[in-house]
Structure 1
Amino acid sequence: MKIKPIQSLLIVAVLFSSCKEKPQQQKEKQDLPVKNVLLENYKGPYQGVPAFDKMDVSMVKPAITEGIKMHLAELDAIANNKEAPSFENTIIPYEKSGAALDRAFTYYGIFSSNMSSSKFREIQKELAPIISDYSSKIAQNETLFKRIKQVYDNAQQNPLPTEEQRTLQLIYEYFAMNGANLSEADKQKYAAINKELSKLYTAFSNNVLADEENYVVYLTKKQLGGLPESFVKSAAQIATEKGKEGSYAITNTRSSMDPFLTYSTERELRQKVWENYYARGDNNDEYDNNKIIKKILQLRDKRVALLGYDNYAEWRLQNRMAKNPENAMQLMEKVWPAALARVKEEVADMQAIADKEGANITIAPWDYRFYAEKVRKAKYDLDSEEVKQYLELGNLTQALFFTAGELFNYNFTPVKEGSVPVFQEDVNVWEVTDKTSGDLVGLWYLDPYARTGKRSGAWATTYRDRTKLTGNKPVLSSNNSNFIKPAPGEPVLVSWDDAITFFHEFGHALHFLASDVKYPTLNGGVRDYTEFQSQLLERWLSTDEVIHKFLRHHETNEVIPAALVEKIKKAATFNQGFATTEFLASALMDMKYHTMSDKELEMLNPKKYEKETLAALGMPKEIVMRHRTPHFGHVFSGEGYATGYYGYLWADVLTADAAEAFAEAPGGFYDKALAKKLVDYLFAPRNAMDPAEAYKKFRGREATTDALMRDRGFAPKK
């Protein structure tokens, strides 16, 4: 669709902590009335690349405002065409429009997610209502919609070729779902609500970022008990950068919090770090998000009520794989009891160790990771720190390339230094080509390290997508991580979980790179399907080929011992109670928030509701939601995952089922015939094919939950 998900602001969609999908439409020739590098055609090699070396935050607002004027003028020209509406004179120019604004939003996304600052956040606040108005003007352009509707109605009688028909269907649905059929008075109400929501989304995300920056725990040498040497060196480096030389900084991000809670022997400090992290957006100060949450939920319901829906969830899920809230809840409720039962077992194991050691404590949330690690060692003789010695970031990057080469026939080569501009010195770029033909596929950018102004988590995006309509230009794809930058000369060693996430986000990049569609709209995705491809790619980390080639000790280059690999595989379902429960708690709360009645919303106190609802669900006291409500950016800094967080579980049903297909194939996970089907049906079509139909073409049948339950250790293996 032409209203594109733009980083963390636009009404239509936001992908937070996992990945971001941003359909881009590029048009090569476009006269620009204002000289602004953020609007200009990409120049240089690879048919043009973003001028990251020339961008400046002062350029953002003029670029966005001018780009909006240009795009709206293009759409008005389409709407006012005197010729009878057709796919050629209405849909094709619609798909080509907005190229300059797309480029401006690419730079906007970098400032928003990778290089934020107080100056940019002020600009972001100023732009939020402007962008919202722009979105509304498109969705409510009555003349334009009449033309689209006429083309759509004609195609219902005389269907177009497959890609054209699906493109038209998706565009029409977008307009219909966003108020195009409303009365003029209701359109104005709809637009006003969107404008208010845009301000709230920006405020929510900026509040979370402020709490991440404002809460840092500084340690002395005496408080480093249990912490790995590599973590200590990184913490010292961060403290020095923050003007606290001689101290050790624990930042308020998951990449810093998680290892600290896993290894630190200082229980009081674990509690402090835990409380800082899970209280983001919930500190009863100027950055508190609770009132914002209530307003967002009320406005969302008020908006969809104009379209005749009882609640936001009904409206949102109508074109997802789940179709309705009931189906999504049914899946979650099927898994929830098994996850809770596993948590009881995990807590009992941890408490037993604490008692044996004479700790004289009852396991609390800030103890879970610490004692889980002890259980891991006791049950499986598996030391996470030992595993990390074989998970060096450079080797893992080569493992990604190897996997892409085997499945997609891609080759990755570093670009010549200085030939492609980057927005930060730590960003690296690779050229992606087809191994057989040598044809250029695209570029892959990697921004690996955490820093001030960069949002937490890991995500993928594109700076340019490929479509036949716009000339099949090279894809410009990007992965973004938050690994802690090591001290000079030290290796970047990551946990097994972080290595899985690295593969996951690269799966999104491969989804971008493999795209083979005709129209820009088809580069979009269905939220509870788009995580499937990336979750599936995680499975290649533990294949023998990757293990033997790339999991090597960072000092000796020795391959990870077979005995250690066996321990990792045996422990594959370890701590699944924790992982599944903290995720499902967030997904269940997301759905419950969006199916509340008007009366319930009027009385809503998010903090109280979260506590009472989780208690009613039987949430263990030793665990909290993976993303507590006040910092649940997936859901409240935009709409990309609102009522869609369950989608990770929905996608995991497909993932587990598809992984068993590879496990059973003659060539295993590198079976060439199955890999071709993987690319042809699950990656290349993007949204050009109905997801359910695409999966059946790959698997020969629909997916079932059986493999998922086996995967998580909640049911016997085959």
Structure 2
Amino acid sequence: MNPLLSPFDTAPFSTIENKHFKPAFLQAMKDARAEIDTITGNSESPSFENTIEALEFSGQQLDRISSVFFNLNSAETNEEIQKIAQEISPLLSEFGNDITLNKDLFLRVKAVYDQKETLTLSTEQQTLLDKRYKAFSRNGANLPEDKKTRLREIDAALAKLKLQFGENILAETNTYQKHLTNEADLDGLPDGAKEAAAQLAKSKDLDGWLITLDYPSYIPFMKYASNRELRKELTLAFGSKGFKGNDLDNQENVLQIANLRHERANLLGYKTHAHFVLEERMAETPEKVQAFLSEILEKAKPAAEREFKQLEDFAKELDGIDQLQKWDGSYYSEKLKQKLFNLDDEILKPYFKLENVISGVFKVSEKLFGLQFEEVFDIDTYHEEVKTYKVYDLEKNFISLFYADFHPRAGKRGGAWMTSFKSQYKRGEENVRPHISNVCNFTKPTESKPSLLTFNEVTTLFHEFGHGLHGMLANTTYPSLSGTSVYWDFVELPSQVLENWCYEKEALELFATHYETGELIPMDLVQKIKESATFQEGMATLRQLSFGLLDMSWHGSDPTKITNVKAHETKAFTGTNLYPETKETCMSTAFAHIFQGGYSSGYYSYKWAEVLDADAFAYFKEKGIFNKEVATKFKDNVLSQGGTENPMVLYKRFRGAEPKVEALLERAGLL
């Protein structure tokens, strides 16, 4: 019996074996095709119900199987799962094309679309109709047959290339380990980081200490280790992922992905991939994105250059460093921050025990949105470290299931993300509630200490939980418009706005207590956190803008003449570089956001959403950070609405006006 082919509510992880996936995918695709045939074979004339709505609710079993499988491939993968992914991805791509290039189906969708002025549809129904029609027209439904065939070839190739890109990075991350046996090499490292390194070595039957490229290992080493040569070695190892000319090299993958995306956009009548993507974004065009990035660059660059000069002078005065390099940045920034603010992550970490921070984000959500979280132990999970919670409102109505997976493992890709195992939607009398997951890579507990988070990890937890709330509080009719199914440059608003509570005394008082003494975080530390929030903000902004510009350089113009990935990247970074170039490193070959994830032509959206979030939080600050009226407006007009309306309409309904870029510049201290 294949557990994936029986109806299931919660994902049946413990009964799934790898051998179940491929047969389940094949059967679910077959069933979904039959559902499509029923729609196209309907003898009644096309209507919203028998065509658009029927299409929306088709293939649900396939969607569930896909979410289980691809979430595992990110959070708990192995060679067998990766191999299945390589086999399945082109088939899913082909299946998607079978739908969008199905002429009979498109004619029915178009028939409904052409009469939309005469139909009495709700706003959400109008949005769904537009979205469905565009899904066809923007994916080749109007193309001649030969071009449709080429489109299918491109999509199948891209599906495999993106997977290969990600697998190479994971393999590179897992391959590198720095085994240290001389304790002097760990000079400067806090006790907690040393203990974690010793524990990691012990887990691999090694003496001494082990440093890896996983963030909880890599970042403390870069920030605190005084051995400059070792910092250099780790920086070059981290920065050269996919750029070593070996069998894990991603340079050819990058070129192929960029070129295939460009060819695909041209086939569909768009100038570039960015023109294609941005048509469905708040930003609308590459020109607007470039103008937006340039405006912030103009404000941030003088500040970044001042900050960099200050850092250079400090490193020279402290250690006689003549030329600041990439492997010096975190180390001297941390030292300078300690000097200016007398603030150090190691002072803060005892107040941020992981369990307390989780409790804190739950309390913040309760005060803002009336949510209650109850840990449960009878939900099936894919790994013993995954925690599960049932989420209720104040009337004890079930809102969502929440999975939380917080520590690095060999089978888990780096970074932090929110995902879902089941979408929210309404059908008949039932409001089907979502299953949401947060996956992170935080500092693990050691034998002597619990998991104590850096402040950066605290803000990351709040960030991903903001995405989680967007999923949990979804309240729409159609699954494809639910939760985070919004314009990509709007999706970061709920996540980024929630980070603001980490800097507020009223919020920190709810959870920031010392893990040993229970003492509340001293208010002078809270003040220092706030004061240091804009420390090196110019440099941080420049870095973020450089990634957005690199993304646009790959996708906003014709890439067919690019032959050298590194040379192209170096040119794209002109104007945002502070540190000397390192020939051994390359950002593009490990830039998973744009070459594996969904951020191609969209990396600018982090900055775009910062404008939204700064403007939104200014409203909270004005009325009180736990003001019920403002929180309810945010919940009702943003979090629950998903992609049912244009995001600017939703935002203005919440805020009363369009966001102002000044709010961001003021908060960042760049005005």
Please say whether Structure 1 and Structure 2 have the same fold, judged by a TM-score greater than 0.5. yes
Displacement, 1:96? 1.4
- Out of 578, 587, 590, the residue aligned to residue 548 of structure 2 is 587
- Whether 2:669 is the aligned partner of 1:710: answer no
The answer to whether the Cα contact below 8 Å between 1:349 and 1:375 also exists between their aligned partners in 2 is no
2:440 aligns to what SS in structure 1? Answer: strand
Cα deviation, 1:611-660, whole Å, max 9, x if unaligned, reads 12313x2421258999910011111114x111001011111110011111
- 1:493 is aligned to 452
- Whether 2:251 is the aligned partner of 1:290: answer yes
Matched letter for residue 516 of structure 2: E
- 2:639 is aligned to 683
Cα deviation, 1:93-140, whole Å, max 9, x if unaligned, reads 212111211121122123211111112111221222212211111111
- 1:425-444 matches, cutoff 5 A: 425-435=384-394, 437-444=395-402
Report the identity percentage. 34
- 1:141-290 matches, cutoff 5 A: 141-220=102-181, 221-244=183-206, 246-290=207-251
- 1:29 is aligned to none
- Whether 2:612 is the aligned partner of 1:654: answer yes
- Whether 2:421 is the aligned partner of 1:463: answer yes
Unpaired segments of 5 or more residues in structure 2?
none
- 2:590 is aligned to 631
Rate the CA distance shift 1:358–1:511 in 2: closer, same or farther, 3 A. Answer: closer
Displacement, 1:36? 1.5
**How far, CA to CA, are the matches of 1:170 and 1:358 in structure 2?**
59
The answer to whether the Cα contact below 8 Å between 1:347 and 1:363 also exists between their aligned partners in 2 is no
2:264 aligns to what SS in structure 1? Answer: helix
**How far, CA to CA, are the matches of 2:254 and 2:664 in structure 1?**
33
Cα deviation, 1:204-241, whole Å, max 9, x if unaligned, reads 11111111111111222231111111111112222222
Displacement, 1:358? 3.5
- 1:88 is aligned to 49
**How far, CA to CA, are the matches of 1:247 and 1:128 in structure 2?**
42
Matched letter for residue 386 of structure 1: I
Matched letter for residue 684 of structure 1: S
Cα deviation, 1:373-421, whole Å, max 9, x if unaligned, reads 1110111111221011211111100111101101110000111x3x111
2:391 aligns to what SS in structure 1? Answer: strand
- Whether 2:6 is the aligned partner of 1:40: answer yes
**How far, CA to CA, are the matches of 1:584 and 1:156 in structure 2?**
42
RMSD: 1.7
The answer to whether the Cα contact below 8 Å between 1:261 and 1:369 also exists between their aligned partners in 2 is yes
2:421 aligns to what SS in structure 1? Answer: strand
Rate the CA distance shift 1:360–1:300 in 2: closer, same or farther, 3 A. Answer: closer
What is the TM-score of this pair, normalised by structure 2? Answer: 0.97
- 1:423 is aligned to 382
1:217 aligns to what SS in structure 2? Answer: strand
Matched letter for residue 644 of structure 1: G
- Out of 452, 471, 476, the residue aligned to residue 435 of structure 2 is 476
- 2:472 is aligned to 513
Cα deviation, 1:517-558, whole Å, max 9, x if unaligned, reads 011121121100011111001111222222112111111111
- Whether 2:19 is the aligned partner of 1:58: answer yes
Displacement, 1:604? 2.9
Matched letter for residue 227 of structure 2: E
- Out of 601, 606, 609, the residue aligned to residue 568 of structure 2 is 609
2:490 aligns to what SS in structure 1? Answer: helix
Matched letter for residue 455 of structure 1: R
- 1:128 is aligned to 89
- Whether 2:319 is the aligned partner of 1:358: answer yes
Matched letter for residue 618 of structure 2: E
Unpaired segments of 5 or more residues in structure 1?
1-34, 43-47
**How far, CA to CA, are the matches of 1:478 and 1:294 in structure 2?**
33
2:244 aligns to what SS in structure 1? Answer: coil
The answer to whether the Cα contact below 8 Å between 1:208 and 1:280 also exists between their aligned partners in 2 is yes
Displacement, 1:329? 1.0
Matched letter for residue 670 of structure 2: F
Cα deviation, 1:561-601, whole Å, max 9, x if unaligned, reads 1111111111110021232122111110101111222xx52
Matched letter for residue 6 of structure 2: E
The answer to whether the Cα contact below 8 Å between 1:129 and 1:198 also exists between their aligned partners in 2 is yes
**How far, CA to CA, are the matches of 1:503 and 1:172 in structure 2?**
36
**How far, CA to CA, are the matches of 1:624 and 1:88 in structure 2?**
58
**How far, CA to CA, are the matches of 2:548 and 2:562 in structure 1?**
22
Cα deviation, 1:188-209, whole Å, max 9, x if unaligned, reads 1111111111111111111111
Rate the CA distance shift 1:321–1:629 in 2: closer, same or farther, 3 A. Answer: same
Displacement, 1:259? 1.6
The answer to whether the Cα contact below 8 Å between 2:71 and 2:419 also exists between their aligned partners in 1 is no
- Whether 2:61 is the aligned partner of 1:105: answer no
- Out of 492, 496, 499, the residue aligned to residue 538 of structure 1 is 499
Matched letter for residue 140 of structure 1: L
**How far, CA to CA, are the matches of 1:247 and 1:481 in structure 2?**
27
How many positions carry a matched residue from both structures?
666
Displacement, 1:663? 0.8
**How far, CA to CA, are the matches of 1:644 and 1:383 in structure 2?**
34
**How far, CA to CA, are the matches of 2:452 and 2:581 in structure 1?**
27
Displacement, 1:610? 0.5
Q: Which runs of 4+ in 1 moved over 4 A?
A: 622-627
Matched letter for residue 340 of structure 2: K
**How far, CA to CA, are the matches of 2:210 and 2:30 in structure 1?**
46
**How far, CA to CA, are the matches of 1:671 and 1:699 in structure 2?**
14
**How far, CA to CA, are the matches of 2:61 and 2:508 in structure 1?**
44
Displacement, 1:350? 2.2
- 1:674 is aligned to 630
**How far, CA to CA, are the matches of 1:366 and 1:476 in structure 2?**
41
**How far, CA to CA, are the matches of 1:358 and 1:192 in structure 2?**
57
Matched letter for residue 689 of structure 1: E
- The higher-RCO structure (CA 8 Å, 6+ apart) is 1
